[in-house]
């Protein structure tokens, strides 16, 4: 009985990982936000987001942690492209828009809509 339960839980976890990867795969591509260009690519079972153009932090990784599913959104620690500050953010992806909002440890908050190029 214990073996069957373990097998079922393992399959459920695999399904969740697969769904996670599929949902994040929608983000793969090039995005613009306030003069910055962000390139999102698959990396492992997740995605990586790199600042590829803009007035600051070009070449820097924007996602500092792996995005984690949270209800109908994702949570992730991000590097703000303009300031380099670390934000604890929540984002949703809807077609050609990626909406993110978050705050720093010191309570500075920001939000923005990234648009697919």
Q: Which domain holds residue 62?
A: 2-116
Q: What is the CATH number of the domain that holds 26?
A: 2.40.128.520
Asked if 78 and 63 count as a contact pair (C-beta separation under 8 A), the reply is yes
pTM: 0.79
Query: Domain total for the chain?
Result: 1
Q: Is the pLDDT of residue 6 over 70?
A: no
Contacts of 15 (CB under 8 A, 6+ apart): none
Helix and strand counts by DSSP (H, E) for the chain = 1, 8
Asked if 86 and 77 count as a contact pair (C-beta separation under 8 A), the reply is yes
Residue 63: is it exposed, middle or buried by C-beta count within 10 angstroms (0-12/13-18/19+)? buried
Q: Is the pLDDT of residue 102 over 80?
A: yes
Of all residues in the chain, what percent carry a pLDDT higher than 70?
A: 81
């Amino acid at each position: 009985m214990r073996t069957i339960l373990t097998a079922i839980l393992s399959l459920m976890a695999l399904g969740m990982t697969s769904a996670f990867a599929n949902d994040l795969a929608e983000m793969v591509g090039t995005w613009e936000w306030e003069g910055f260009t962000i390139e999102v690519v698959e990396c492992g079972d997740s995605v990586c987001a790199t600042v590829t153009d803009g007035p600051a932090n070009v070449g820097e990784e924007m996602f500092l942690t792996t995005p984690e599913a949270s209800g109908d959104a994702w949570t992730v620690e991000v590097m703000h492209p303009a300031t380099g500050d670390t934000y604890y953010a929540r984002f949703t992806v809807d077609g050609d828009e990626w909406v993110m909002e978050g705050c720093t440890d010191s309570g500075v908050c920001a939000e923005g809509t990234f648009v697919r190029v």
